[in-house]
Amino acid sequence: MKRLLFTIFLAMTIVSCKTDFTAQEREVIHAGDREIMYVLSIAEPEDSLQLREVCLPVSERMLQGEDYATLRRRMLATVQDPENEGVGIAAPQVGVLRRMVAVQRFDKEGEPFEFFLNPEIVERIGEKQSGGEGCLSVPEIRGDVERWQKIRLRYHDEQFAEREEIIEGFTAVIFQHELDHLDGRLFIDYIE
- The residues carrying an active-site annotation are 178
Q: Which residues contact 114 (CB under 8 A, 6 or more apart)?
A: 102, 103, 105
Question: Which residue type is seen at 84?
Answer: N
Q: Which residues contact 4 (CB under 8 A, 6 or more apart)?
A: none
Q: 93: part of which helix (H) or strand (E)?
A: none
Burial-class residue 120 by CB neighbours within 10 Å (0-12, 13-18, 19+): middle
∠ CA 29-34-37, nearest 5°, is 45
Q: Phi, psi at residue 124, to the nearest 5°?
A: -110, 125
Question: Which residue type is seen at 90?
Answer: A
The alpha carbon of residue 55 and the mean position of all alpha carbons in its chain are separated, in whole angstroms, by: 9
